[in-house]
Amino acid sequence: MSDWIMRPSVFFFGIFVCVAGVIGWFASAPNRQPSSSAPDAIVKRGSLTDTVTATGVLEPSQLAQIRAPVFGQLTMFHVRVGDKVHAGDLIAEMDSFGQQNRLRQATALLSQRQAAQSSSQVKLDWAKHTLARQRQLSAKQVISSAALQEAEVAVQIASADRDFSTAQVDEATAGVEKARKDLADTRITTPIDGRVIDIVKPGQTQPSSVVAVVAQTDMMRARVQVSEADVERIKVGQPVHFTTVGNRKANRASVLTEVGPALSTLLSNQEPSGGQVGGRSGEAQPVCYNAFFEVPNKDGKLLPRMTVDATITVSAVDDVLLVPRSALVGPDPKGSYSAQVDRGAGATEKRRVRVGQVNQTEAEIVGCLSEGEDIILPRTAALHGQTAQRQN
């Protein structure tokens, strides 16, 4: 073992020197100046995009809920979920036994009424013929006036019977038309072109119950919610890019077609002033607005109720001078910004700058700064000032 380790005084003196050196380095750290060779930011050229993000769902451009028009047993479907259909295509059939019987009964009753009408018409024609003959005989004074009056009354009675029979025929005709419609209603058809997205199981149905849903999915409609803070920044015609939760790699494009309040917002505004709206009385509720855009779906990969994450482009500029938003101080009450420019050798200059478009991370510089200039972030600029004060 070395001699110097064997000497206790030399060993402890070496440890003392090392500890003092570490303490001295930490004590002098606040007095060291930031390196001017590594500025916090550099004015550079690039593109600036201001966007609004929103989340929503996909909906078909048109949706038809096909309902059972009559009470009965749903016996057969002619389509399956996913099938494409055209307006007027047969979707399903209901048990039509009762409707067929009612149509036969209505048709038979109509035939009876038509026969009665024919009989009453014959009687009226005969009464008119008899009246004409009686008038000829009365003119020759062959018959009495009472006989002529009797013939005239017979015509009036026969005419009334004919009118009554005609009304009965009209009533029976309406019954046949209704029975035919009821029978036709057992054959359920689609009112629109589209794709079948839902059907119920065969069985007993009530009138107006939904038996199938057909949607036009070749063109989908996205409904996204935009916060109150951002809604004034968006407008119809702005570009939109979006992805679905299941496919983040497919970035699809569209444009805003409509901006309006959400239905829930409108309904909440109708609550009585003393009531509770969506929570505790007097509690402020977030307000969201609906924005809509459409997107073609020829490949059928977009499905109803899919969640979409949309980015609405409010503004975009290219080939402009940019600095980080955090490099600017402001805006002040006059709307002005300032920046600390690194002049080298620890010197800085506070300079008013002209700012164009601003987003969450970057700002466009339209004057008072040049490409390549070094900008010091406000935190680092404060350290520069503290160092200068210590040196003075």
Lowest-confidence region among 108-117, 135-144, 236-245: 135-144
- Any idea which of 51-65, 173-187, 330-344, 369-383 has the lowest mean pLDDT? 369-383
pLDDT band at 345 (very low <50, low <70, confident <90, very high): confident
What does the pLDDT read at residue 39?
55
CATH of the domain at 377: 2.40.420.20
Q: How high is the pLDDT of residue 377?
A: 87
Tokens read off for 219? 């063109």
Q: Is residue 142 part of a domain?
A: yes
Final residue of a domain: which of 131, 163, 185?
A: 185
- If one counts the domains in the chain, the total is 2
pLDDT at 60: 93
- The answer to the question of residue 162 being in a domain is yes
- Looking at per-residue confidence, does 36 or 125 come out higher? 125
Query: Is residue 287 in some structural domain?
Result: no
pTM of the model: 0.60
d(CA 134, CA 140): 10
At residue 162 the predicted structure's pLDDT band, cuts being 50, 70 and 90, is: very high
185, 208, 240: which is the final residue of a domain? 185
Among 150, 185, 220, the domain-final residue is: 185
User: Is a pLDDT exceeding 80 seen at residue 1?
Assistant: no
pLDDT at 264: 52
In a domain, 35, yes or no: no
Residue 1 lies in a domain: no
Its sign, for the CA torsion 365, 371, 376, 377, is positive
Establish if 8 belongs to a structural domain: no
pLDDT band at 370 (very low <50, low <70, confident <90, very high): confident
Q: In angstroms, rounded to a whole number, what is the distance separating the alpha carbons of residues 68 and 13? A: 100
Residue pair 68/188 in contact (Cβ under 8 Å)? The answer is yes
User: What is the residue range of 334's domain?
Assistant: 41-48+317-391
Q: Which has the minimum average pLDDT: 6-10, 45-49, 53-57, 349-353?
A: 6-10
Q: Who has greater pLDDT, 321 or 14?
A: 321
- In the block, tokens 């005239």 appear at 152
Is residue 58 a part of any domain in this protein?
no
pLDDT confidence band for 36 (50 / 70 / 90): very low
- Is residue 180 within 8 Å of 172, Cβ to Cβ? no
Residue 305 lies in a domain: no
- Split at pLDDT 50, 70, 90, the class of 100 is very high
Average confidence score pLDDT of the chain: 83
